[in-house]
Structure 1
Amino acid sequence: MSQRVASHPEYTVRFQEDLEVPGARIPLTADLCLWERAVAVGQRVLWLHTYGERYADETAGRPYGRVLLPRDRPRCVEEIPDDAEAMPEMLAYDPVTQDLWVGCGRISPVPRAVREYQVSGMNVLDKWFGYRRRDPAGKRRLELDHVAAPRWLPVWTTELLELLNVLGLLVREEPAQAALFEEVCAGPLITVTDLTTEGILPVPTEATKPLKATSDAGDALFDL
């Protein structure tokens, strides 16, 4: 249920005070129609989060592995150089022209909401670029931590365009998510008492244990 009603800014605004204490607050609707709508929205959001690899459904407009904006897609207007001297050090953004500068390269159009897209207070584009810039982000504890790509890889440009398409589509989902969220909060909700009466709460101890990784080859990493 969390992806349906919580993965958008309106949720954070409404529960900002409550979220000061760790732990998600997820309103569970008791309205079957709202629940089904929320499930459909959640499937689309998870489809986007996984770049079309989960919850793909052609009939619902969710083709497998193809997540693209229907129009106004970002494109590389000026190529990001792949020589060592021009390795990008920072991102720059012009909200008027909607240009995203990656070093000397330029991608457009990138709406402001996409450039500023955050998850739990973390800017997604800054985080993505941070590990690919000239001086990559991250702690340097081991010798290998100091090894970094000397130049911009063309595949990174492709990955960045894919990410921008995903973020653009997520931004477009936010109004529908916010409207649904308001309907859920205003309607009948499933309470802790309801869940306890039905025997769903308290959660059984075995259900809180981490899943054990298994494989067809057995538990051993190597079978010598």
Structure 2
Amino acid sequence: MTFTGYVPDYDHYKGSFGGRVHPLWRDAAAKEPNVSKKLIALLAETYGHPISAEDVVAYLAAVMAHPAFTKRFQPDLVQPGLRVPLTADPSLFSEAVTLGREVIWLHTYGERFFDPTAGRPKAPPRMVRDAAPTVPIGGAIPGAPQPLPDTMEYDPVKRRLHVGKGFVDNVTPEMWDYEVSGKQVVWHWFSYRKRDRSRPQIGDKRPPSPLDFVQPDHWLAEYTTDLIDLLNVLGRLVALEPAQGDLMERILDAELIKVAHLQSALAAGGAEKVN
């Protein structure tokens, strides 16, 4: 489960699954939430304080956007459609909202859910200095006149990510191995920036579009900046995973809002479409 501050198209991230994108807002002004008003009212009544659409999506991020959720509910994930355990405990809900806001801040590179007072500036997130990925002296990825690199390799002993003739230090195995929807994120990122971007033809045998060959002839400085930003985000997400897994287990061990109660409350007074 991922979050973005941009408007995703049908091919967002993986090149498919566009129908699984759900906007938080129904309007451009971000005033009309794409969350059932009856659900928000039910949660506010349950927890004893006002609840916003942002709170709901932050809760989802905290509870569902981490590997422990996938591992715990793997048999259920065979069938399409995600199901979330909805806590009846106000303190657990609040804890999840706080954690989920950081998750979304990280996924959106500091563009959404930023709050400087909570340590979330409106800027690309960074790890603590000693742990942050860095390009050391002699490790710069060559630009012009060198061509775009075609290789990316990881050295787990040195914790060094090689990109062509350059390299980045302080890259953990967890950053390198991080996957979303079965795709290794760092390699997936590089595959769109390397010299040879051709892919095996599967199904459709039409010739590639000429647009596929429109690309820089050398590594751009902003590519290195993007890579450092990505690695910092992945490092911080990995660091949050134990807290997310622990919170999920405590939610599952505590009282949950029952499906029948939820359906009854949402059906009262007429049907309302829930997206």
Indicate whether 1:204 and 2:272 are aligned. Answer: yes
Which of 115, 118, 121 aligns to 2:179? It is: 118
Aligned to 2:195: 134
| TM-score, structure 1 as length reference | 0.86
Quick check: 1:94–1:100 contact (8 Å CA) kept in 2? yes
Map of 1:1-224 to 2, 5 A cutoff?
1-71=59-129, 72-77=131-136, 78-83=139-144, 85-137=146-198, 141-199=208-266, 204-205=272-273, 207-208=274-275
Q: Helix, strand or coil for the counterpart of 1:93? A: strand
Find the aligned partners of 2:198 and 2:123 in 1 and give their Cα distance: 29
Quick check: 2:266–2:272 contact (8 Å CA) kept in 1? no
The one-letter amino acid paired with 1:69 is: M
Aligned to 1:215: none
Identity of aligned residues (%): 42
Q: Judge which range, 143-152 or 1-10, deviates more.
A: 143-152
The one-letter amino acid paired with 1:51 is: Y
Q: Judge which range, 43-52 or 67-76, deviates more.
A: 67-76
| TM-score, structure 2 as length reference | 0.71
The one-letter amino acid paired with 1:83 is: A
1:153-201 C-alpha deviation (Å, 9 max, x unpaired): 1110011001111111111111111110110111111121011121269
Q: Helix, strand or coil for the counterpart of 1:76? A: coil
Q: Judge which range, 170-179 or 193-202, deviates more.
A: 193-202
1:122-151 C-alpha deviation (Å, 9 max, x unpaired): 111011101000112568632222222211
Cα RMSD between the aligned structures? 1.9
